[in-house]
Structure 1
Amino acid sequence: MTQGRRRLVAYLRCSTIEQSTSGFGLDVQRAAIKEAAKVLDARIVATCADEGKSGALSIAERPGLAAALALVDNGVADGIIVRDLDRLAREVTVQEAIIGRVWMNDAAGVYVSLPAQEVPRDDPDDPMRTMMRKMSGLFHELDRMLIAKRLREGRRAKRAAGGHAEGPTPYGWRAEKRSETNPAGRLVPDPAEQGALARMKALAAQGESTRAIADVLTLEGYPTRRGGAWSHGAVARILKRYKDERQAS
């Protein structure tokens, strides 16, 4: 390790599920790491993030994590700091692979902000140290699995009630505002979008290409979901969705 203040790379991660359920977004993690760096008398030399990435993904599947580890490998940083070990991973095998990668450099360390400290290296004379870290990783993994299970159950219940379960509503439809009489947020036709959808289908039935259909819809002023001109890709996706639905019905 270099002399003087430790140089750490901050790693932030938040999955889509956690963004919607926990409130521990990237800004919260960034603030916690900043405070921990003061306690540790460390300097943050870089910040790498993976937004919308599951903690079960490997190093290769997380560009931000790969970049952070490369800084440690190359000697730019003396270690990596996270809010908690569950930001590194929510699967114990992945957690241990990441920690092991950092520890390949005898001078590098893994740090957390809750509380602000370095994760102790394995000691053959203290097997409980290793086991407690792995047990913590197993509980993080269990928590991820339970959250995913609850969300799946919620989506199934919503679909059973006739509501829109996940993702953006299909073009041509909108979700009604939830109420006591409509708890699931049923899908109802959107008049403006239904007009565009009907025109789109009619042009497709005439054999027009998706590019030609996009040009016609734009020229005739039919609305896109985000405003602006139609693209042939958007037309193709919408037509494919309705084709798939017809085949499935």
Structure 2
Amino acid sequence: MKQYVVYRRVSTEEQGRSGLGLDAQRRDIAIFLENFSEAPYEVIGEFEDHLSGKHDDRPQLSKALELVRSTGAELLVAKLDRLSRKVSFIATLMDDTKVKLKVASMPQADKFQLHIYAALAEQEREFISARTKAALAEAKARGVKLGGLRDKTMKRNDAVQANAKARAEKVAKTILPLRAGGASLRAIADALNSSGVLTARGGKWQPSQVSRVLDRLEAAS
């Protein structure tokens, strides 16, 4: 029987971001197990860290890897950056002959392909950082007061987050009981639409929107 050890990671600031929250990771892992895993399979352990991916010293990841090495099970993560944002860490892990890795969002990728993806993702993050610094330097040269600009941006972001949180709490009484009862994201979206509940933009609910609301509720709990 195929065995998996599931590992999830989220940092505090990522709790409410779409695609990065714990509920989103559980969803992606469930999709992989239901559609791409060998059958039969068994999840023999689940571990979860609430730490930045920049840190290699994560206690729950260490426990997950220990179980993987001792049982021969495969380490399963939702996305590669949930394991680490550092290509050096991922490369070292892939060199470990006792560790087998599977990424739910890239179900067919082998170790070589995952290594390439990690390297490209790191290059992209470095470029984005350099681009941001260059843009700030250009703005400063034009006389833009960066501190004031950031303050306005932060206030606007805070207002957006507060509004999103309020709307999430408004539909919590419908969404949470359904999710606790095992309803899928699609089923919850259909239930909201059937009840005449509209999204923030006055439209119909989609599973992705339900997932974002669940992430926000989870972050606020």
Q: Deviations over 1:70-117 (max 9, x none)?
A: 111221x5110111222222221111112223xx22xx5211212434
Deviation at 1:145, TM superposition (A): 3.9
Matched, 1:133 2:117: no
Q: Indicate the structure with greater helix content.
A: 2
Q: Equivalent residue for 1:57? A: 55
Corresponding residue SS for 2:102: strand
Between the two proteins, the alignment pairs up a number of residues equal to 146
Corresponding position: 1:45 with 2:44: yes
TM-score scaled to structure 2, two decimals? 0.53
**Secondary structure of the equivalent of 1:57?**
coil
Q: Give me the whole-angstrom Cα distance separating, in 1, the residues matched to 2:75 and 2:103.
A: 9
Corresponding letter in the other structure for 1:71? L
Counterparts of 1:19 and 1:148, CA distance in 2:
22
Q: Which position in structure 1 is the counterpart of 2:80? A: 85
In 2: Cα distance, 1:17 partner to 1:145 partner:
20
Larger Rg: 1
CA pair 20-94 structure 1, distance change in 2 beyond 3 A: same
What's 1:116 paired with? 107
CA distance in 1, matches of 2:44, 2:9: 17
CA distance in 2, matches of 1:88, 1:162: 31
Q: Quick one: which amino acid aligns to residue 101 of structure 2? A: V
Q: In 1, Cα distance between the equivalents of 2:25 and 2:120?
A: 20
- Asked whether the equivalents of residues 50 and 62 of structure 1 are also in contact (C-alpha less than 8 Å), the reply is yes
Aligned CA distance change for structure 1 residues 178 and 26 (closer, same or farther; 3 Å): closer
**In 1: Cα distance, 2:17 partner to 2:128 partner:** 8
Partner of 1:29: 25
**Conserved? CA contact 1:12–1:50, under 8 Å:** yes
Residue identity in the other structure for 1:43: E
Provide the TM-score with structure 1 as the length reference. 0.48
| Counterpart pick for 2:147 among 153, 159, 176 | 159
Once residues 131 and 17 of structure 2 are traced to their aligned partners in structure 1, the CA distance between those partners, rounded to angstroms, is: 11
* Partner deviation per Cα, 1:107-142 (whole Å, 9 max, x = no partner): x5211212434x535xxxxxxxx3x43321112213
Q: Which structure exhibits the higher relative contact order, with contacts defined as CA atoms closer than 8 Å and separated by 6 or more residues?
A: 2
| Percent pairwise identity | 26
**Which structure 2 residue ranges, 5 or more long, are not aligned?**
158-221
User: Residue 116 of structure 1 aligns to a residue in which SS?
Assistant: coil
Go from structure 1 to structure 2 and tell me whether the alpha carbon gap of 1:23 and 1:78 turns closer, same or farther (over 3 Å shift): closer
Mapped to 1, the partners of 2:25 and 2:81 lie a distance apart of 12
